[in-house]
Amino acid sequence: MISILGCGWLGMPLGKALVGSGKLVKGSTTKPDKLEEISRQSIVSFLIQLDDLSNETELMEFLDNEILIINVPPGRNHINADDYPHKLARLNTYINQSNIQKVIFVSSTSVYEENNNVVFEDSSLSKNPSSQRLFLAEEIFRNNHKIKTTVVRMAGLIGPNRHPGRFFGGKTQIPDGLIPVNLIHLDDCIGIIEEVIKQDYWGQTIHAAAPSHPTKKEFYSLASTIYNNTKADFVEEKGKFKIINPDKLVKDLKYQFKHPDLMAWLLQSHQN
């Protein structure tokens, strides 16, 4: 069985896909009214709050599995974002008491500094406090030698209910129009995690980012037009940027992207 901590935009369809491939899946939410929705996907639902792990019986039942997927981002506006690594450290103590042997930690490419260059898995990290917190969270599970952990650092997320055309439509003088974008479609987020499990790919850090990197102006101008027929006006300038390289994923897992060409996906989304 596989446990997914955090059945949200990614976790819910991921759980559904794993169930579809014959896996027994447990999934958690922080919202009581979402338990039934999770159960409807044939996922065994649990109410787990990282802020309050006092219900040890339910937590240990949730962790009574071989594989745990941790999909709980700190959140940009979370009041207690500073406490994010501490919450995961507490979770880690319970993992040590459980049957969990393997962990997939869903992280973000925001851990890297904008180096005006291509970024690989061993590139320099950002000194931004939120990036540092995320890296500290990764390290909690990397340094736990009771388990094998693979960290999947995801680029910006796009897909159902996250159409990029929502962001800049009707806005003017948007800065950095010439910087490259780093994005990943939901279908590939799911596909990559499935391959990590299928190929027993543990003890690794990989990038989940589409191999195409159109400019911010190219991508979001088209996205705005397609989404609600509005124009987005960008300043043709190139500030600090990074280009997330997914070659390790492709080489090690022989992964084939479902949506490698971001511009082509936009046009396809318009037709659908």
Quick one: pLDDT at residue 54? 86
Quick one: pLDDT at residue 272? 61
Whole-prediction pTM value? Answer: 0.95
What does the pLDDT look like over 150-164, one tens digit per residue?
Answer: 999 999 999 999 999
The overall longest dimension of the chain from CA atoms, in Å, is: 56
The tokens describing 57, both together, are 């019986």
Mean pLDDT of the chain: 95
Residues 6+ apart with CB under 8 A from 116: 240, 241, 242
Domain chopping of the chain, boundaries: 2-159+183-212+243-258
Report the CATH number of the 2-159+183-212+243-258 domain: 3.40.50.720
The tokens describing 89, both together, are 């450290």
Quick one: pLDDT at residue 95? 98
In eight-state DSSP terms, residue 112 is B
Give rounded-to-5 percent helix, strand, coil for the chain. Answer: 40, 20, 40
In this prediction, residue 76 has a pLDDT band, given cuts at 50, 70 and 90, of low
Closest CA to 235 of 181, 175, 179, 180: 175
pLDDT beyond 50 at 79: no
In this prediction, residue 80 has a pLDDT band, given cuts at 50, 70 and 90, of low
CA distance 83 to 89: 10
CB 182 within 8 A of CB 211: no
Using CA atoms, how far residue 61 sits from 44, 85, 128, in Å, is: 11, 23, 36
What integer is the mean pLDDT of 215-244? 95
Phi, psi at residue 115, to the nearest 5°? -100, 10
CB 71 within 8 A of CB 6: yes
CB 198 within 8 A of CB 260: no
User: Distance from CA of residue 231 to its chain's centroid?
Assistant: 29
What does the pLDDT look like over 91-129, one tens digit per residue?
Answer: 999 999 999 999 999 999 999 999 999 999 999 999 999
Q: β-pairing, 148-154 with 67-70?
A: unpaired
Helical pair 84-96 and 129-142, crossing angle rounded to 10 deg: 10
CA distance 238 to 56: 51
Quick one: pLDDT at residue 260? 98
pLDDT beyond 60 at 77: no
Q: Which amino acid, one-letter code, is at 132? A: Q
